Amino acid sequence: MASTNQQVIPNGFKFLFGGTSGMAATLFVQPLDLVKNRMQLSGEGGGQRMYKNSFQAISTILRSEGVVGIYTGLSAGLLRQATYTTTRLGVYTMLMDKVSKKDGTPPNFFTKAALGMTAGAIGAFVGTPAEISLIRMTSDGRLPINEQRGYTSVFNALSRIIREEGLFTLWRGCGPTVSRAIVVNAAQLASYSQAKQVLLGSGHFRDNILCHFVASMISGLVTTIASMPVDIAKTRIQSMKTIDGKPEYTGAINVLTRTVRSEGIFSLWKGFTPYYFRLGPHTVLTFIFLEQLNKLYRKFA
């Protein structure tokens, strides 16, 4: 992702291309994000699981909420990419340029991981308000009608959260969100760069869409395995309601311990299939769009 050619791209365009790439990818994978969130909340607290697997979840949602229902929360997903992905990819590419050698040689894997963690933490803080809106909008359909929040768009969600629960509620779950982002970006950005570097060095790949696809799928698998426990803690904290003035969970550790105790250790990877098939293609599409935008800029600008 770092080269002598890429260094001529202005920083503003790096942020723009990062956000645009993430938003374009979200248009394709939003239904999988919805399924992932619903499955992570299914069986919460040891209750009955709503879905046995991803296919049942998709068919149930389609049957009860229609085709439009599988795109519930799209506006929040797009805003999340516009804030979180714009920031993290913009910061990451800027930092990569600064630490790369003058001949364009990229830094080692551990440096890439550190840069990914830094970029992810900053991006997660900026994107938390959109994240909490996305979690609530995608999980709303699993609740009884009288308990649904009924947000009509991400902007309606943000305004109502501020009005009904206070401004700082927009950053509820910021700790696990930032922690998840650190894990995701250390794994995703570093493993993508490293996988791409190894593939190109093998002599069997050229710097084209096929190489980007294979590197992204490898990156997506590594990221899914590493980040799911933190992700389920984040999802449940941001979806929880306050009952009699007390929140359902006191923090990420409380979520993880209660989840393991009532649902088993493997429940921390609940929703693995939709998570990977959401994260894998999203990673693929984001980096493909990003690489193509960079090439178009270098060609025409």
* DSSP one-letter string for 31-91: HHHHHHHHHHHTTGGG---S-SSHHHHHHHHHHHHHHHHTTTTHHHHHHHIIIIIHHHHHH
Q: Which amino acid is at 69?
A: G
Given a cut of 70, the residues of the chain with pLDDT beneath it are 1-7, 43-49, 103-104, 189
Where are the chain's structural domains?
6-300
Task: Indicate the pTM of the whole model.
Answer: 0.73
Nearest one of 104, 8, 21 to 298, comparing CA atoms: 8
Residues in the chain: 301
Nearest to 36 by CA among 217, 213, 278: 278
| pLDDT of amino acid 151 | 92
Instruction: Show the CA angle centred on residue 142, arms to residues 275 and 245, nearest 5°.
Output: 105
CA 4-6-10 angle, to 5 degrees, is 125
For position 271, what pLDDT does the model report? 78
- Specify the DSSP element, H or E, that contains 16: helix 11-41
pLDDT at position 57:
83
Q: pLDDT for 77-90, tens place per residue? A: 999 999 998 898 88
Amino acid at 152: T
Residue type, position 160, single letter? R
- Cα dist. 136→6, 11, 88, 115, 284 in Å? 38, 33, 23, 30, 26
At 53 the pLDDT is 75
Q: What's the Cα-to-Cα distance from 13 to each of 18, 93, 102, 104, 214, rounded to whole Å?
A: 8, 11, 21, 19, 26
Residue 205: φ, ψ to 5°: -130, 150
Give pLDDT tens digits for 119-138. Answer: 889 999 999 999 999 999 98
Rg (CA), the chain: 19
- Determine the topology of domain 6-300 in CATH: Mitochondrial carrier fold (1.50.40)
242 has which bridge partners?
247
Tokens 């938390």 correspond to what residue? 128
Which runs of E-coded beta strand occur in the chain?
A: 242-243, 246-247
Enclosing H/E stretch for 277:
helix 272-300
Residue 234 CB neighbours (<10 A): 28
- Cα 128 vs. chain centroid, distance in angstroms? 11
186's enclosing H/E stretch is helix 174-201
